[in-house]
A = this chain, B = another copy of it.
Amino acid sequence: MIIQLSNNISTEQKGALIASLQELKIQPNEVKTQFKNYIIGIPKSDFDIRLIGNMDGIDDIHRVSDGYKLVSKKWKTNRTIIDLGDEVTIGGNELAIMSGPCSIESEAQIENTVAHLLKNNIKIMRGGVYKPRSSPYAFRGLGMEGLKLFYQHCAENGIKVITEVMQVSQVEEMLPYVDVFQVGARNSQNFNLLDVLGKVDKPVMIKRGMSGTIEELLASAEYVFSNGNEKIVLCERGIRTYENAYRNTLDLNAIPILKEKSHLPVIVDPSHGIGLRQHVATMALAGVVAGADGVIVETHEQPEKAFSDGQQTLYYEQAEKLYAQLKQTKDLVNTF
């Protein structure tokens, strides 16, 4: 049950409401976000909603039978649009395209990526400064120094920054230099990290886990929302199956299902999904038809020299062709 509180609810009214919930054996969870105050009631058994519905200080009240509540579409039928400022949004009619290298490698690389994005009117740059790597001996990213350079060049050019945060202790220092925090597949159920990201006022894109279910991805999003941050984006990036012909099995089924169950925008990541450069564009376009609100792709001036993930990274030329096709495809889908 989601109770939307009035902005002018008094302390007494709130106290009375919580007392009533407890009397009905409904566990009350207070949630205060950037936009609104809520109480999420988790009932132990069935109850008569009318006993609460008429109380003072309540704007609205919704039964939500899903395990996740605030991210469910059952109570919020309008789709969430994330506003990054400067007319860059995620979740509206226009496709959000995020492009850039797997890892930030050097200032020169940042500069040539920014130039490529400007040329193509792409507004969001991706790039990792903290890299989760299976082996402790592999390149683990440039860290904060890289992020500062990354952010500075983007900000100067009106480009938004999305980058992965790997642990709680990084959140605060990264905060000024990030437009969207990305939570990687391996951290999709790092609940402490999600808790903390729920307490900042920056959008969070959560990737589905390696073998994450739809339910689990939405429950992870619920962690962020219930801690106070409504600005959440979901990302399908491929799951682990028995098939070895591609890096992961990009699961486009997830896109219509996530959009049916939740009001949050959904991004598709074909680069990690199929993991083969020659098929990234095809899967990106298929993802848009499946309903994706945006696409995150890996691009590099010289993919064969990239520090990581080169085999799934597009050449600028390929990326340019893709951007145009993405727009045409999104235009067609908008007419359906």
Residues of chain A whose beta carbon lies under 8 Å from any beta carbon of chain B:
27, 29, 40, 42, 67-69, 132-137, 166-169, 186-187, 189-193, 195, 209-211, 213-216, 219, 222-223, 226-227, 239-246, 249-254, 256-257, 260, 273-274, 278-279, 282-283, 285-291, 325, 328-329, 332, 335-336
Contacts and interface: CB of A to CB of B under 8 A. Distances in A.
Contacts of A239: 241-243, 249
A197 to B, nearest CB: 12
A135 B215 CA distance: 10
Contacts of A211: 210-211, 240, 242
Q: Return the 9 tightest CB-CB contacts between A and B, nearest first.
A: A211-B211, A167-B192, A214-B245, A286-B290, A186-B189, A286-B289, A286-B286, A256-B279, A134-B219
A146 B298 CA distance: 46
14 contacts: A29-B137, A134-B215, A167-B192, A186-B189, A186-B191, A211-B242, A213-B243, A214-B243, A239-B241, A241-B241, A242-B242, A245-B254, A283-B290, A286-B287
Given A243-B213, A249-B249, A278 B260 contact: yes
A60 to B, nearest CB: 20
A289 B329 contact: yes
A257 B252 contact: no
Contacts of A336: 285, 325
Contacts of A250: 252-253
Contacts of A273: 253
Given A134-B216, A190-B187, A227-B136, A257 B249 contact: no
Given A241-B249, A249-B249, A279-B257, A132 B191 contact: yes
Nearest to A166: B192
Contacts of A226: 136-137
B168 A167 contact: yes
A192 B291 CA distance: 35
Given A133-B191, A136-B191, A186-B191, 15 more contacts: A67-B135, A136-B227, A137-B226, A211-B242, A215-B245, A241-B249, A241-B251, A244-B244, A250-B252, A256-B278, A256-B283, A260-B279, A283-B290, A285-B289, A288-B289
B189 A134 contact: yes
A261 B185 CA distance: 27
Nearest to A250: B253
B169 A168 contact: yes
B278 A282 contact: no
Contact of A242 (B193, B241, B287): B241
